[in-house]
Amino acid sequence: MRVGLKVALSDANLDLKQASNQRQLSIAISALTPEGARTAPLNLCLILDHSGSMQGRPLETVKQAAYRLLEQLAPGDRISVVAFDHKAKVLIANQVVDNLTALKFEIGRLTADGGTAIDEGLKLGIEELARGKNNTVSQILLLTDGENEHGDNDRCLKLAELAACQNFTVNTLGFGNHWNQDVLEKLADAGGGALAYIQRPEAAIEEFSRLFNRMQSVGLTNAHLILTFANSARLAELKPIAQVLPETIELSPEVDGDKIVVRLGDLMIDAPRVVLVNLYLSQLREGPQTLGRVQVRYDDPALGQTNLLSESLNVEAVGMQQYQPQLNPEVQTHILALAKYRQTQIAETRLQQGDRAGAATLLQSAAKTALQMGDRNAATVLQENATRLQTGEDLSEADRKKTRIVSKTILQP
């Protein structure tokens, strides 16, 4: 298995009459599987909230979703289950999937009671994953329906970062309307995973399956993007690098000598990670020129190999005295996806500050941006919420959470 790498500039032609040209560099990274190649077994930990607020249908639908997920695990996959209320316990210790009946029985014994301490569950989940991490794809699926009132949110974030350092991916599921979207988003972003929203109990099975399909598509892990630029290119000073697919995340570059390194995490087989780099280009010359190089460092868990390097691709552009733009439509769509996310983020900040009119205007702008990129579902959600604010209504918790989800990704019908 190897890395698929594709680079493109928002406009590969540069205007030499300008002192500086701003361009966005799009980098698409995926795992390529030769015919007959095998992927590594899955090492999955379910971390499930069974606090008192999960009483009744919520907990029962989560159990059904967990049963369905267990049935999709392949021979050789590993499973562990941690349950938490205001404390945490290991329900199923890390083991190779064998006796489905016994595993389902343990999950079926869960009852709803107590408060919520997410960090305690996350701590035990990381410990269980560590028992089966060799030559596997290690994934956490953490579900909660409430605030972390018996825990420490800062500790949660540190644990998610610890998980990422151990090459564990953290996916978070918010159930219902009373979970903290800031906390779960930060955990998923820090852990290199996805944030999902179960608005209604009957959607639990679908959301579990969607995340599970993503986990199964992981071919390579611990991927780091390595960028080397010529003297003519420099990163923008503010938020220079962001991922826009499969979800939008602001990324934090680190400088290593003459290289810029960004952690990406898992590489999927069917869904590339797309990263946008905001560049300023100056001291250019006429004709073709190389602005920099792109490479990926990664692990192949199926082969037990680490610190592998992909091919190195050059970033090429053409300097022109008589400039003629050559816009790349695919990169333009990625730029719109990032704009949609950032417009929505600012709208949320304005709303928290009490500026309803400003928030509504920004949500309308985000809706128009979504339409430009063909994301009609997001446009509908964003425009409806803008209209609610303009007519004096408050946004419900469901409205706010759906807004956050559609800002980060393309909402499925």
pLDDT exceeding 90 applies to what percent of the chain? Answer: 94
DSSP notation for 44-81: EEEEEE--GGGTTHHHHHHHHHHHHHHHHPPTT-EEEE
User: Which neighbouring-strand residues pair with 96?
Assistant: 78
Q: For strands 88-96 and 137-144, give the pairing.
A: unpaired
Phi, psi dihedral angles at 12 (to 5 degrees): -80, -5
In angstroms, the Cα distances linking 93 to 43, 73, 165, 169 are 12, 16, 22, 19
d(CA 219, CA 208): 20
- The stretch 176-191 carries a mean pLDDT of 94
Instruction: Extract long-range pairs of 65-72: CB within 8 Å, 24+ residues apart.
Output: 65/204, 65/205, 65/207, 65/208, 65/209, 66/107, 66/208, 67/104, 67/107, 68/205, 68/208, 68/209, 69/208, 69/209, 69/212, 70/97, 70/100, 70/103, 70/104, 70/107, 71/100, 72/209, 72/212, 72/216
pLDDT tens readout for residues 276-320? 999 999 999 999 999 999 999 999 999 999 999 999 999 999 999
Q: Which two tokens stand for residue 231?
A: 């003297």
CATH of domain 42-218: 3.40.50.410
Instruction: Return the DSSP state at 201.
Output: G
d(CA 115, CA 52): 6
Q: Is the pTM of this model over 0.85?
A: yes
pLDDT tens readout for residues 359-400? 999 999 999 999 999 999 999 999 999 999 999 999 999 999
Beta carbons within 8 Å of 74's beta carbon, 6+ residues apart: 41, 42, 97
Boundaries of every domain in the chain: 2-31+220-326, 42-218, 330-408
- Helix pair angle (397-408, 356-372), 10° resolution: 40
pLDDT given at position 413: 44
Q: Which residue's entry shows tokens 């305690």?
A: 120
Q: Which residue's entry shows tokens 């009459």?
A: 17
pLDDT given at position 367: 98
pLDDT tens readout for residues 124-137? 999 999 999 999 99
Nearest to 198 by CA among 184, 216, 187, 218: 184
Q: What kind of architecture, by CATH, is found in domain 2-31+220-326?
A: Sandwich (2.60)
17 CA to centre of own chain: 40
How many C-beta atoms surround the C-beta of residue 314 within 10 A? 11
d(CA 140, CA 125): 7
162 CA to centre of own chain: 17
Q: Which two tokens stand for residue 356?
A: 């309803």
pLDDT tens readout for residues 36-55? 677 899 999 999 999 999 99
Beta carbons within 8 Å of 234's beta carbon, 6+ residues apart: 279, 280, 282
**Could you give the 3-state DSSP secondary structure of residue 402?**
helix
pLDDT given at position 39: 85
